[in-house]
Structures are given as structure tokens and as C-alpha cells.
Amino acid sequence: MADLLRLRADDDPVASAVRLLPDILTALDADGGVIVENLLGAEPASRILADLADGYAATDPGSSSGSELWETFHGQNTVRFTGLAARSRTFVDHALLNPTLLAVADALLLPNGADYWLNTGQVMGVGPGEPAQYLHRDENNWPEAVADGKELTVSCMFALGDFTADNGATVVLPGSHRLPAGTRRGDDETDGRFEHARAEMPAGSGMIYTGKVVHGAGANVTESMRHGMHVSYVVGWLRPEEASPLMVDRDLAATLPVRARRLLGWSSYHSVGGGRTWLVDFEDAERLFADR
């Protein structure tokens, strides 16, 4: 069994971002993932979990996609829902705009695009008895765009409750991010090239990882749900997994910080080469908030 590097954030999130960034980037280069305790903080984690109680109550476990592949991937006893920015301002202030996570995204994604936006903010409540998720790479959500040496997405799995080996702590294969682009490990456990690491961490922690590292939720053999929250960003020239503007309407977006609005898709993308996309009447979507 391998181990991921374990760091700890200070109570000052901005100072932590400056202090931790070099070590985080070194760890991501070496292993593809790193655990940062106190990244979210126990108190914000508790508030977010309380804010999302209605979402949990209204969401059935499993997937109704009709695809056997996706239903297996999502898990029959796992609760998933999105639109977290519309459900919790604490999510916006402490997770979506987390200074350390944004600093990592700046470092890894801006070399490959002029900006990035939220890919998904997603609850992953792994229920009792759920088997381990098949191992995968997040970047394969965009198979046409993956390339060696190019990061398309950066993620963090936040622990809203304690993550343990028994309740489904995320399994990571350190070093697997160096596999050629497009490699899919799936549920093949016979490949002995990589040891497994488990992201065991207390509530309020986060595991930051790249889109290239192979990982998946572990099996939950306890009688309690494992409360996790996946937050990821994707380069601005790709369509994200979650349709955030359909969840966060214009009126709500107007109440949020400008950076949050942009991450949620309420602005346009201006490429380094001069291209402009996601426009409103051929102008930047940010104009929608000029009179607010």
C-alpha cells in the first residue's frame, strides 16, 4: 500500500495557498495526488453538509441514465447531485473559491488555456454496502482532447465527513498520471505496476489530484454514508460536465463575487489566439451584470 503526501493548511486560506503551492505542485508531479488537511475546514464542511441536507433527502441513490456503464460507475447505493452553488453560499466562499485549489488550477490549467471554469461541484454520498468504483481517469471525459503533457482538468475530493479505509476513502494509484494519454484502467486489478493509496482524511480535508491520475471511490463496508464533495475545474475551451448556468440563474449569479460568476459560466471565453466563445449578442456575457 502506497501513501500520498499529507500537508496541512493554516486557518488563513490565502497565506496557506502561498505556503503550500510549491509542495502541492511537487507532489502532483510525483504522484498525481496530494492530501491537504484543513483545506476546507471542519466548520465550513459541517455547514455545507447542513446546507445540502435537502438535496440528500430529494435525491435517490443510483443512476437513471439507462447506460449500464454509467450506472455501474455512479454506483447503485451512491447519492449524487450537483448545483451546489445554488444550494450553499458556504460552498461558493470556501470550496468554489478556495484559494489553494484556485492556485493549483492556475498553475496547471492556464498553460493550456486562457482561463478555466467549474467542471462540476458534486456530492458523492457513498452508501453502506457500495462496492468499490471502477478505477478511471477524469480527463477521459473529453477523449478527443486528451494529450500527453497537457492538463485539462484539476479536481479536489473534499471530505465533508471523515474518510476511512472502511467507508470508501478514495483509492489512488500514485504515478499512474504518467501513463500515456487515453489509458483506461477500468476495473482491472491484475496490473501490478502501481500500488494503491487511500485518501484517508478527517472532515474538512481535501485530496487534490490531476485529471490524469487513476483513482476511484473505495468500497463502503460500514453502516454509515461517506460524505464527499468533488470540485473540479476544466480549461475554458472545453464544455464542462455540469451545466452550471442552468442551476445558478442570473439573479443568483448577480449576488456572487465576479470570480465565482465566471467560474460558473456567466462570462465569455477569450482565447490567447483571439477567439471568443460563449458570447451574448457577440459581446462578453459579463455585460449581463453591468446594471446590477
Per-residue pLDDT of 115-162, as tens digits, reads 999 999 999 999 999 999 989 999 999 999 999 999 999 999 999 999
- Give the pLDDT of residue 247: 96
Residue 78 pairs in a beta bridge with 126
Task: Read off the pLDDT of residues 47-99 as tens digits, 9 standing for 90 and up.
Answer: 999 999 999 999 988 777 777 666 666 767 799 999 999 999 999 999 999 99
Judge whether 6 and 28 are in contact, CB under 8 Å. Answer: no
Task: Read off the pLDDT of residues 181-233 as tens digits, 9 standing for 90 and up.
Answer: 987 655 444 557 789 999 999 999 999 999 999 999 999 999 999 999 999 99
Q: Please give the Cα distance from 228 to 230 (Å, whole number).
A: 7
Residue 6 pairs in a beta bridge with 35
**Average pLDDT score over residue span 276-292:** 92
The residues, ordered by sequence, that sit 6+ positions from 224 with a Cβ below 8 Å of its Cβ are 128, 167
User: Cell for 121?
Assistant: 461541484
Rg (CA), the chain: 18
**Average pLDDT score over residue span 37-46:** 98
Exposed, middle or buried, 126 (CB in 10 Å: 0-12/13-18/19+)?
Answer: buried
Q: Tally the residues of the chain.
A: 292
In sequence order, what E strands does the chain have? Answer: 6-8, 33-37, 78-81, 116-126, 153-159, 171-172, 197-198, 206-210, 215-216, 226-235, 269-270, 276-277
Confidence bin at 292 (pLDDT 50/70/90): low
Q: Considering the domain delimited by 6-245, tell me its CATH architecture.
A: Sandwich (2.60)
- Give the pLDDT of residue 77: 78
Q: Please give the Cα distance from 45 to 228 (Å, whole number).
A: 10
What pTM was estimated for this model as a whole? 0.95
